[in-house]
Amino acid sequence: MKYSLPFLDDYVLLSANGSITVDVSLKDVYDFSLPGKYDVVFEADIMDYVVSQNMLSLFPRNRGAFTPYLGVVSNSLQITTQESLAPEAMKAPYPCSSQETSQINSAASSQRSMISAAFSAINQGDSSYYKEWFGAYTDARWNIGSSCISAIRGNSVVRYACDDQRGVYAYVYPADSSHTIYCCEAFWTAPNAGGFDTKAGTLIHELSHFNNICGTDDWVYGVAAARNLAATNPNRALDNADNYEYFSEVQW
Ligand SMILES: [Zn+2]
């Protein structure tokens, strides 16, 4: 899954010491296929906050301006499930239009050039690009990054579908062996290639999620957070989809 930055009306204004209650369905986004005990801890960075209401005009799309992020960790909540919980059908894919298909085809073509360039770049070993997106070099870690980029490059089975999810570039089901990438609302306004958060780069991000390609997760999103992850937790950077996307996009 790759999200776009939020729009202004995605924000909820919470005053100091204020509170808000929201119901969420954990099984729609986490794997509860095995019955048993789960410990749930909410752990997040508050990425956008302002110290006065006047500063609200800086939003949306000014993420990263208010670093350091504010870390929030909840108490642990214990849940016991009796049976396998399947996610609700929350997706509404539709067949892509001819215009959408043509944009996807261009993006797929650029993606192939981009990942080839990334493959050359990772084969330079301990480079400044490597350090920027995957952190401190070790041979063992390089092997992980190199294998992943090689697997994305070598992948030939890809299908595409369209969905209208707001604020989402694209998503996949990691276990899906047909490698279907669902392109969503934010995908259409992204540049094809050149710079960050492009269509071609999004396809690399999504391909990296498939279990039989790299099996990456989304530990953090965005350029600033991905760079920071490389600097502070290289092992996690090598398991983070955006880090592969950005490493590849800067080779374009
Ligand atoms: Zn993702």
Residue 70: pLDDT band by 50, 70, 90 thresholds?
Answer: confident
Q: Could you confirm whether 206 is annotated as catalytic?
A: yes
Once rounded to an integer, what is the mean pLDDT over residues 115-143?
A: 98
pLDDT for 18 equals: 87
Cβ contacts of residue 68 below 8 Å, gap of 6+?
Answer: none
Q: How far is the CA of 167 from the centre of ligand 1 (A)?
A: 13
Residue 105: pLDDT band by 50, 70, 90 thresholds?
Answer: very high
Q: Which helix (H) or strand (E) holds 245?
A: helix 241-249
Residue 189: pLDDT band by 50, 70, 90 thresholds?
Answer: very high
Q: Which residue among the candidates 83, 206, 245, 249 is catalytic per the annotation? A: 206
pLDDT at residue 31 above 80?
A: no
pLDDT in tens, 195-214: 999 999 999 999 999 999 99
Q: How far is the CA of 1 from the centre of ligand 1 (A)?
A: 3
Q: What is the pTM of this model?
A: 0.78
Strand 159-162 with 180-183, pairing:
parallel
User: What's the burial of 163, exposed, middle or buried (CB within 10 Å: 0-12/13-18/19+)?
Assistant: middle
pLDDT for 119 equals: 98
Q: Which two tokens stand for residue 71?
A: 């870390």
| 191 touches 142 (CB < 8 A) | no
Q: How far is the CA of 185 from the centre of ligand 1 (A)?
A: 15
Q: DSSP states of 174-230 as a string?
A: TT-TT-EEEE-HHHHHS-SSSSSS-HHHHHHHHHHHSTTTT--B-S--SHHHHHHHH
**Residues within 5 A (CB) of ion ligand 1:** 1-2, 218, 241
- Measured at the alpha carbon of residue 55, what is the angle toward residues 53 and 61, in degrees to the nearest 5? 125
Once rounded to an integer, what is the mean pLDDT over residues 111-120?
A: 98
pLDDT at residue 56 above 70?
A: no
Residue 25: pLDDT band by 50, 70, 90 thresholds?
Answer: confident
Q: From CA 220, how far away is CA 197, in angstroms rounded?
A: 14
Helix, strand, coil percentages (3-state) for the chain, rounded to 5, are: 40, 15, 45
Residue 59: pLDDT band by 50, 70, 90 thresholds?
Answer: low
pLDDT for 4 equals: 82
Residue 226: pLDDT band by 50, 70, 90 thresholds?
Answer: very high
pLDDT at residue 12 above 80?
A: no
CA 185 to chain centre: 15
Residue 20: pLDDT band by 50, 70, 90 thresholds?
Answer: confident
Q: Which two tokens stand for residue 157?
A: 């089975």
Q: How far is the CA of 235 from the centre of ligand 1 (A)?
A: 17
Cβ contacts of residue 12 below 8 Å, gap of 6+?
Answer: 20
Identify the bridge partners of residue 43 per DSSP, sorted by sequence position.
Answer: 73
Q: How far is the CA of 205 from the centre of ligand 1 (A)?
A: 6
